[in-house]
Chain A
Amino acid sequence: MLKINNLHASIGDKAILKGINLEVKPGEVHAIMGPNGSGKSTLASVIAGKEDYEVTEGSILLEEEDIEELAAEERAHKGVFLSFQYPVEIPGVSVTNFMKTAINSSRKAKGLEDMPAKDMLKMIREKSELLEIDRKFLSRSLNEGFSGGEKKRNEIFQMAMLEPKLAILDETDSGLDIDALRIVSNGVNKLKSKDNAVIVITHYQRLLDYIVPDFVHVLLNGKIVKSGTKELAHELEAKGYDWIKEEVGA
Chain B
Amino acid sequence: MELKEKLVSSFMAFEDNVDVNSSIHDIRTEAIKTFEAEGFPTKKLEAWKYTSLNSVLKQDYSVFPKQDNEIEFKDVKKYFIHDIDAYKIIFIDGKYASHLSQTTHDGLDVCLMSAALTKPKYKVIIDNYFNKIANKDGLSSLNTAFAYEGAYINIPKNKVVDKPIQIIHFSTGNEAAVMLQPRNLIIVNENAHVQIIERHQSLTDNPVLTNSVTEIFTNKRAIVDYYKIQNDKQTASIIDNTFINQKQESLAKVHTFSFGGKLVRNNLEFYQNGERIDSTMKGITVIGDKQHVDHNTLVHHIEPNCESHQDYKGIFDDKSTGVFNGKVIVEKLAQKTNAFQANNNILVSDKASINTKPQLEIFADDVKCSHGCTIGQLDESAMFYLRSRGIPEKEAKALLMFAFSNTVLDSVKIPEIKNRITKIIANKLGVNIGFDL
Q: Do A and B come from one complex?
A: yes
Neighbour of B391 across the interface among A48, A49, A101, CB < 8 A: A101
Q: Verify B437–A162 contact, CB threshold 8 A.
A: no
- Cβ contact within 8 Å between A73 and B391: yes
Q: Is the CB of A73 within 8 A of B390?
A: yes
A94 to B404, CA, bound (A): 13
In the complex the two chains form, is B395's CB within 8 Å of A93's CB? no
**Judging by beta carbons under 8 Å apart, are A101 and B395 in contact?**
yes
Pairwise interchain contact B387-A73, C-beta atoms closer than 8 A: yes
B315 to chain A, nearest CB (A): 14
The interface bits of chain A over 132-146 (1 if a CB of B lies within 8 angstroms of the residue's CB, else 0) are 000000000100000
With A71-B387, A76-B390 in contact, do A92 and B434 touch (Cβ < 8 Å)?
Answer: no
Chain B hits for A51, CB < 8 A: 384
Nearest chain A CB to B403 CB, angstrom units = 3
Contact among B382, B387, B437 with A97 in the assembled complex (CB-CB below 8 Å): B437
For chain A, give the interface size range: 35 or more
Interface residues of B in 380-436 (CB under 8 A from A): 380-382, 384-393, 395-396, 399-400, 402-407, 433-436
Complex-state Cα separation, A101 to B395, whole angstroms: 9
A77, CB-defined interface residue at 8 Å = yes
A73 to B341, CA, bound (A): 37
Interface residues of A in 102-123 (CB under 8 A from B): 102-106, 109, 114
Query: Inside 8 A of B388's CB, which chain A residues have their CB?
Result: 48-50, 72-73, 75-76, 80-82, 84
Given contacts A97-B436, A101-B395, A114-B434, contact A88 B382 (CB under 8 A): yes
* Bound-complex Cα distance A73 to B393 (A): 8
A240 at the interface (CB under 8 A from B): no
Is B379 part of the contact surface with A, judged by Cβ < 8 Å?
Answer: yes
Q: How far is the CB of B153 from chain A (nearest CB, A)?
A: 34
> How close is B397's CB to chain A, nearest CB, in angstroms?
12
| Contacting residue for B387 out of A72, A90, A91, A109, CB 8 A | A72
A9 to B405, CA, bound (A): 37
Task: Check if A87 is an interface residue, CB within 8 A of chain B.
Answer: yes
Specify which chain B residues have a CB less than 8 angstroms from the CB of A114 in the assembled complex: 434
Tell me the smallest distance from the CB of A157 to a CB of chain B, in Å. 12
Question: Which residues of B have CB within 8 Å of A234?
Answer: none
| Chain B interface SS verdict (over half) | helix
Contact of B406 with A76 in the complex, beta carbons under 8 Å: no
Closest residue of chain A to B387 (Cβ to Cβ) is: A72
Structural contact, B385 and A101, CB atoms closer than 8 A: no
How far is B404's CA from A87's CA once the two chains are assembled, in angstroms? 18
Kindly list chain A residues whose C-beta atoms are within 8 Å of the C-beta of B404: 92
By a CB distance below 8 angstroms, the chain B residues around A192 are none
Binary contact track A29-52/B, C-beta < 8 Å → 1, others 0? 000000000000000000011111
Among A77, A88, A97, A162, point to the contact of B435 (Cβ < 8 A).
A97
Q: Does A100 contact B (CB under 8 A)?
A: yes
* Residue contact A90 to B400, C-beta cutoff 8 Å: yes
CA distance A91 to B437 in the complex (A): 11
Choose among B384, B389, B393 the residue that contacts A102 (Cβ–Cβ < 8 A).
B389
Report chain A residues within 8 Å CB of B405.
92
CB contact under 8 A between A90 and B382, given known A102-B389, A102-B390, A105-B392: yes
| Closest-CB distance, B383 to chain A (whole angstroms) | 9
Contact A88–B389 (Cβ < 8 Å): no
- State in angstroms the CA–CA spacing of A87 and B382 once bound together: 9
Contact of B403 among A48, A77, A90 (CB under 8 A): A90
Which single member of B392, B402, B434 contacts A100 (CB below 8 Å)? B434
The answer to whether B407 and A105 have CB atoms under 8 Å apart is: no
| A162 x B389 contact (CB < 8 A) | yes
Once bound together, how far apart are the Cα atoms of A101 and B392, in whole Å?
10
Query: What chain A residues lie within 8 Å of B393 (beta carbons)?
Result: 71, 73
Evaluate contact between B390 and A105: CB separation under 8 angstroms.
yes
Contact B385 A92 (CB under 8 A): no
Known contacts A73-B396, A98-B435, A105-B392, then 9 further A-B pairs from the complex at CB < 8 Å, ordered by chain A residue: A73-B388, A73-B391, A77-B390, A90-B382, A91-B403, A92-B407, A101-B391, A106-B390, A162-B389
Closest 3 CB pairs of A and B: A92-B403, A92-B406, A76-B390
Chain B residues in contact with chain A, CB under 8 A? 379-382, 384-393, 395-396, 399-400, 402-407, 433-437
23 contacts between A and B (CB under 8 A): A71-B387, A71-B392, A72-B388, A73-B390, A76-B388, A82-B388, A90-B382, A90-B385, A90-B400, A90-B403, A91-B406, A92-B403, A92-B406, A92-B407, A93-B437, A94-B437, A97-B435, A97-B436, A98-B386, A105-B390, A105-B391, A105-B392, A105-B395
